[in-house]
């Protein structure tokens, strides 16, 4: 009820042109305790990770007031390909506030760290920042597959696995071409209906459930609903093929799922455009990149992967191919950056 009240209050304020968010109250509580926090932590630098945007505001305040170097870490774009695009479109006060916050961060931060190279390039091109670095997300190389539950998959079938949400996470992510591609494949190769299994683990929108209903009735699509992370990882590591679907309009996208897929060391079919996720798949040679809106190409590549073992085994599943995207590598990048930081 408290969460709902906050959402309604923020909505009302934004509608009348007053900027606020559900974390504004949390930000004020943090800043009231800043002396106690700094006394305990005694920081030499501030790392502020977005989202939410309030972490950037807190970081900038502490940096300026206490003359501490600030590293602004963007795990998503604030204005560039924003995850809050709907809110930005609806409310001018939010757009103005975010523009001011981003400009302030770019002017004062000693370094900007972004989750992908397209986002780093945006900061360099837009603000001319000399220290816009890329530190992608990654996988945990110490995660032990032996601790995962069993994923019981039907023997003698080709299992494609997708974990996570589609449009519920990114409104631009549309599975209609994927469904059309699978239908086209089954029309050309009707015998595959007996052995092709598409497992979807995660919440679906009503539209997606309607699109999938026909294939689900035929037994080709298996809907598992929301599952815990260990079960999702177990399915990933038993899959014959892992499926990645992204919005064609977000070039900087590379979600945690991409790195979980690399850790699983199973071939990946990436339905994505000219994105950072596509760059990772191509660089590691762990799978195939297909335009997300092309039903024909989706059907063609799926057919080759399923029926041509030589083509399927061309994917490089060696640990060395994906090491660059491990947590250890990301921390090494950050460790190299920190000693060079100076207050601007």
Handedness of CA 35, 40, 42, 47 (dihedral sign): negative
Domains in the chain, please, with CATH?
Answer: 2-137+329-340 (3.40.50.2000), 145-325 (3.40.50.2000)
How big is the CA angle at 283 (ends 134 and 263), to the nearest 5 degrees? 80
HEC string of 139-172 equals ECCCCCHHHCCCCCCCCCCEEEEEECCCCCCCCC
User: What tens digit of pLDDT does each residue of 300-315 get?
Assistant: 999 999 999 899 888 8
pLDDT higher than 70, residue 297: yes
Task: Report the pLDDT averaged over residues 121-138.
Answer: 89
Task: Please report the pLDDT score of residue 327 as a whole number.
Answer: 79
pLDDT higher than 80, residue 112: yes
For residue 47, the surrounding DSSP H or E stretch is: strand 46-50
Residue 335 pLDDT grade (very low, low, confident, very high; cuts 50, 70, 90): confident
Answer for the pair 210, 283: CB distance below 8 angstroms, yes or no. no
Structure-token match 């602004």, residue found: 72
By CB neighbour count within 10 A (0-12 exposed, 13-18 middle, 19+ buried), where does 15 fall? exposed
Answer for the pair 57, 119: CB distance below 8 angstroms, yes or no. no
Task: Report the pLDDT averaged over residues 108-133.
Answer: 91
48 phi, psi to nearest 5 deg: -115, 115
User: What tens digit of pLDDT does each residue of 39-50 get?
Assistant: 999 999 999 999
Question: Which is more confidently placed, 278 or 343?
Answer: 278
Q: β-pairing, 158-163 with 132-134? A: unpaired
Which residue stretches of 150-255 are H helix?
A: 176-188, 206-217, 229-238
Strands of the sheet with 268-271, listed across from one edge = 221-225, 196-201, 158-163, 241-245, 268-271, 287-290
Q: Specify the 3-state DSSP secondary structure of 113.
A: strand
């Amino acid at each position: 009820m408290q969460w709902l009240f906050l959402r309604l209050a923020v909505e009302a304020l934004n509608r009348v042109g007053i900027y606020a968010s559900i974390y504004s109250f949390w930000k004020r509580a943090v800043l009231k305790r800043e002396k106690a926090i700094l006394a305990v932590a005694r920081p030499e630098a501030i790392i502020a990770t977005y989202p939410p945007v309030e972490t950037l505001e807190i970081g900038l305040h502490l940096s300026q007031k206490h003359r501490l170097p600030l590293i602004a870490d963007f795990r998503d774009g604030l204005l560039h390909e924003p995850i809050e695009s709907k809110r930005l479109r609806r409310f001018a006060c939010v757009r103005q506030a975010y523009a001011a916050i981003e400009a302030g961060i770019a002017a004062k931060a000693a370094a900007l760290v972004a989750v992908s190279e397209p986002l780093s390039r945006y900061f360099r091109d837009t603000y001319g920042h000399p220290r816009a670095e890329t530190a992608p997300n990654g996988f945990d190389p110490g995660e032990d597959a032996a601790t995962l539950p069993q994923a019981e998959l039907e023997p003698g079938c080709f299992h494609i696995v997708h974990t996570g949400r589609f449009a519920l996470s990114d409104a631009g992510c549309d599975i209609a071409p994927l469904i059309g591609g699978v239908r086209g494949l089954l029309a050309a190769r009707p015998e595959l209906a007996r052995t092709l299994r598409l497992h979807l683990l995660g919440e679906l929108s009503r539209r997606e459930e309607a699109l999938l209903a026909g294939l689900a009735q035929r037994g080709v699509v298996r809907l598992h609903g929301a599952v815990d992370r260990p079960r999702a990882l177990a399915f990933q590591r038993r899959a014959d093929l892992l499926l990645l679907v992204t919005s064609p309009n977000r070039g900087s996208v590379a979600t945690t799922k991409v790195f979980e897929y690399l850790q699983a060391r199973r071939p990946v079919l990436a339905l994505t455009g000219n994105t950072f996720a596509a760059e990772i798949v191509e660089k590691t040679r762990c799978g195939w990149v297909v335009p997300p809106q092309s039903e024909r190409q989706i059907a063609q590549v799926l057919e080759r992967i399923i029926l041509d073992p030589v083509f399927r085994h061309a994917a490089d599943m060696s640990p060395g191919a994906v090491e660059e995207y491990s947590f250890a590598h990301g921390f090494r990048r950050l460790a190299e950056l920190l000693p060079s930081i100076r207050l601007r």
